[in-house]
């Protein structure tokens, strides 16, 4: 199973794992961020250490919290208006060879819509990624585990309670 749902206690726990994933030959990452700016992620993931085009960010938080600037490898979207723009950017990334899509975070998607609409969005996103032959990794706050854990939309995911198990690293 290529699609994974990871419940996080602390968000910083997984940065090393994402870097390890990016280091894999042939890996290209489309990172959807709904709670961190792409500038922050560029710094935390040391994007400059990788070849250009290794990461593509879809930033849905910066337009809400500040004026978005021009950032290489990053497109800004406004998810408060719906998920259509986000899906178009994901499709563009998949067509451009990005084979791993990371959604950070499912908890933030829940702030924009109900659990039912969130599950519908995740199902559509998963379908789009699977059709391209890619894999989807979804991060979620540990505090939302009960709310999300009982939903049908996660039945297509292998669930991890710790990022170290997903990435094979020590915490």
Per-residue pLDDT band for 69 (boundaries 50, 70, 90) equals low
Range of the domain at 26: 4-167
Judge if pTM exceeds 0.85.
Answer: yes
- Residues contacting 171, CB < 8 A, separation 6+: 13, 162, 163, 164
Per-residue pLDDT band for 10 (boundaries 50, 70, 90) equals low
The total number of structural domains that make up the chain: 1
Beta-sheet strand order (sheet of 158-160)? 74-76, 55-59, 29-33, 100-104, 135-141, 4-8, 158-160
CATH number, domain of 102, equals 3.40.50.300
pLDDT for res 167? 61
pLDDT for res 1? 43
pLDDT at 136 over 90: yes
Nearest to 108 by CA among 2, 11, 4: 11
pLDDT for res 163? 65
Q: Is 76 helix (H, G, I), strand (E, B) or coil?
A: strand
């Amino acid at each position: 199973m290529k699609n994974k749902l990871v419940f996080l206690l602390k968000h910083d726990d997984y940065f090393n794992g994402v870097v390890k994933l990016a280091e894999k030959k042939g890996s290209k990452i489309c990172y959807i961020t709904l709670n961190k700016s792409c500038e922050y992620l560029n710094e935390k993931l040391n994007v400059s250490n990788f070849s250009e085009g290794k990461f593509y960010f879809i930033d849905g938080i910066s337009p809400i919290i500040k004026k978005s600037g021009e950032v290489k490898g990053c497109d800004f979207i406004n998810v408060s208006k719906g998920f259509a723009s986000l899906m178009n950017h994901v499709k563009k990334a998949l067509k451009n060879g990005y084979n791993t899509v990371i959604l950070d975070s499912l908890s933030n998607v829940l702030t924009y819509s109900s659990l039912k609409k969130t599950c519908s969005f995740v199902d559509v996103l998963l379908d789009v990624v699977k059709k391209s032959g890619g894999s989807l990794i979804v991060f979620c706050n540990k505090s939302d585990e009960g709310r999300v854990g009982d939903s049908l939309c996660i039945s297509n995911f292998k669930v991890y309670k710790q990022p170290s198990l997903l990435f094979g690293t020590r915490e």
